[in-house]
Structure 1
Amino acid sequence: MRAIIDIGTNSVRLLLAEKDDKDEWKVLKKDLRSSRLGEGMTDTACIGQGARERTLQAVEGFVKEAKEAGADEIFAYGTSIMRDAGNGPDFAKLVEETTGVKVRILSGTEEAYYSYIGAAGTPGVLTAVVDIGGGSTEICMGFGTDVGMCHSFQLGCVRCSKQFDTTTARGLSMLKKHCFELFRTTDLMEYIRNVKRWIGVGGTVTSLAAMIQKLDVYDSEKVQDFVIRQENVTEALKKLSAMSYDERCRTKGLMPERADIIVAGIAILDSLMEYLALSEITVSDRDLSEGLLDADVLVPNEPK
């Protein structure tokens, strides 16, 4: 049995899986704890003491859970906040000293690649995967494992909630303008022409899928392959940005721990779909964690 622990900007996630008779990974369990490691995140901020303690406790709990479940391999990975914060490597070392599990901090390209593998698999059509996280947003396009583009933007629901006032029309306008400016720094428009399949992963899009369906309890089967249309995104952004924090906490399909950052996440998705003129995007509950199951043998190829 293999355990993957994903230490993200907003939450720590655990995935337990084992190989079946066909030598394919079968997911046994997925769990999440919102520890907000990127609390107060800016481009120059370090990881705060409170965030370190909460996240370390979450990782310790997942390591214990994985061992009790019978996992003989435990891998831990750090993403945006750990590669951007000056004390990210120090925190990785602390986790290893405390739990005995080494933390590998992924580059932006690696994070984009493994999110793509986890969500898209090895498709027979040109596919793009968009992963909106707490500290960054990754876009990876490819055909099977042949990747043509991987890019990581410093756009995330935690990061942008700190940088912009998402409770006002002016603040949202500034955030969307910021998104457009970052998108223009890449060759996104050149790559999208022939993309047949767009997939969205991460807490923002899975939460949006759950909210649109008004799910009382999160159901991965109902979220997987759910199609979100552009008008759904724009409508949700308008509705949620006008709500109070308490009202968002009571919204069906939205976890209360995400109520303060969901508007920024949806604004990023809305900006991307508007910029690329995407009419719809398909949601995947499978993402970075699933892609990391074979990270020890898969090596992301450099984008062309």
Structure 2
Amino acid sequence: MQDVAAPYDYARREVREPSALGTDLYGPTYAALDLGTNNCRLLVARATHEGFRVIDAFSRIIRLGEGITSSGRLGEPAIARAIEVLRICRDKMRNRGVTRARLIATEACRQAQNGEAFLDRVREEVGLSLEIVDRETEAMLAAIGCTPLVDPDAGGAILFDIGGGSSEIASLGRPRATRRGPPEPAMQGWTSLPVGVVTLAERHGGISVTREIFEAMVDEAAHHIAPFASEQRKHRINGHLLGTSGTVTTIAGVHLGLKRYDRRRVDGCWMMDDEVTEVMERLLAMSYDERVCNACIGAERADLVLAGCAILEAIRRAFPSARLRVADRGLREGMLVQMMRADGVWREAGTS
């Protein structure tokens, strides 16, 4: 599930053969990098008339925020892992001829006492300049990236992004159609929870998770969700859940019985409420070793997946819905859309 993803079309949600790439691409080559608490992810893309096509992708779990809950600082082993992976991303961008990029850091760098010092070191050693974005920006970028998956026949969606150090939730209305390019989000409200899979697992434990531990994690997440859920109930949202993160893509992969993670089957797939429950019950019943051996979880997520499930369960209880749509997309796609829109690439395509 890690390292390299196949090229894919953002608008059509389908993987293209390498021979088919480039036939209708135009404009600059863009890159979007998201350095999170748990993962470092990169996309390189070029515009198409409907959206963009990813021509290179990279993702690796680095656990940058490991131990930050207790120390308040980024540890040296985590920094070394991040710098190694950022060098790989830098080389990929150079090899692809990237001319326009946005590189962001999220909760781990927001929270760490040495977050800015770490980014200074990245500039000196790797030659990349990352910006620390606030939680509102993170929520908006996820909304931009995931809006094409909002069911246009529904009243909207509750979008959630379960991260390593924080989790964002946004209330979305019906997407606003555009003449060219992807639809625009109609964000009606948002919140950020100061909990993610890494922080919850470090506080409660992620290797041996009993029902009692799981419910304690659910209660902690629910406490942070409650004020936002109370406010959003006034709007009587008649929509569906829309989830982006390793937690929901893992749950979808387990539900589909994938022998190997396949983005084509996961991104955009629907799960009914009872199907989500069934998968989470299966995960709770698994031992740590069984989670490690599952092809859609593996050793890198085995101690984090139940913390993610607990946050998801708190969201489901706050926003009951018959359907969940799974998104293998989010911040990076949002950054790409935002840059391309700012550059007028689809406006130019419409007048050419």
Shift of 1:291: 0.2
Asked if the contact 1:127/1:142 (under 8 Å) is kept, the reply is yes
Q: State whether residues 103 and 131 of structure 2, in contact with CA within 8 Å, keep that contact through their aligned partners in structure 1.
A: yes
Instruction: Identify the residue that residue 15 of structure 1 maps to in structure 2.
Output: 43
**Identical aligned residues as a percent:** 29
Q: Is 2:56 the counterpart of 1:29?
A: yes
Shift of 1:298: 6.9
- Structure 2 residue 170 is matched with structure 1 residue 130: no
RMSD: 2.2
Q: 1:298 to 1:38 in 2, by over 3 A?
A: farther
Q: Distance in 2 between matches of 1:212 and 1:253?
A: 10
Q: Which runs of 5 or more structure 1 residues have no equivalent in the other structure?
A: 300-304
Question: SS at 1:184's partner residue?
Answer: helix
Question: What is the CA–CA distance in structure 2 between the aligned matches of 1:162 and 1:224, rounded to whole Å?
Answer: 29
Note closer, same or farther for the CA distance 1:127–1:88 as it changes in structure 2 (3 Å cut). same
Verify the 8 A CA contact 2:65 2:165 in the aligned structure 1: yes
CA distance in 2, matches of 1:278, 1:126: 12
After superposing the two structures, state which structure 1 stretch, 252-261 or 184-193, moved more. Answer: 184-193
- 1:36-93 per-residue CA deviation (whole Å, 9 max, x = no partner) reads 1011232762111100110111011111111112222232111111111221122122
Which of 225, 239, 249 is the equivalent residue of 1:183? 225
- d(CA) in 2 for partners of 1:255, 1:106: 30
Aligned-partner Cα distance in 2 for 1:92–1:190: 40
Q: Could you say if the C-alpha distance between residues 12 and 38 of structure 1 is closer, same or farther in structure 2, counting changes exceeding 3 Å? A: same
The Cα shift of 1:296 comes to 4.5
For the 8 Å contact 2:122–2:128, the answer to whether it is kept is: yes
Q: 1:243 & 1:121 partners in 2: Cα distance?
A: 34
In terms of Rg, which structure is larger? 2
2:267 corresponds in structure 1 to 224
Q: 1:107 to 1:297 in 2, by over 3 A?
A: farther
Q: Which of 59, 77, 83 is the equivalent residue of 1:50?
A: 77
Contact 1:141/1:149, CA 8 A, preserved across alignment: yes
The structural deviation recorded for 1:254 is 1.9
Q: TM-score, normalised by structure 1?
A: 0.90
- Kindly state the Cα deviation for residue 154 of structure 1 after the two structures are TM-superposed: 1.2
Indicate the residue corresponding to 1:139 in structure 2. Answer: 169
In the TM superposition, residue 279 of structure 1 has moved relative to its aligned partner by 2.4
Q: CA deviation at 1:245?
A: 2.1
Instruction: State the match for 1:203 in structure 2.
Output: 246
User: Which segments of 5 or more consecutive residues in structure 2 lack a partner in the other structure?
Assistant: 1-28, 176-184, 343-352
Q: What is the match of residue 90 of structure 1?
A: 117
Q: Show CA shifts across 1:260-287 (max 9, x none).
A: 1001001111121122222221001121
Instruction: Tell me what 1:302 maps to.
Output: none
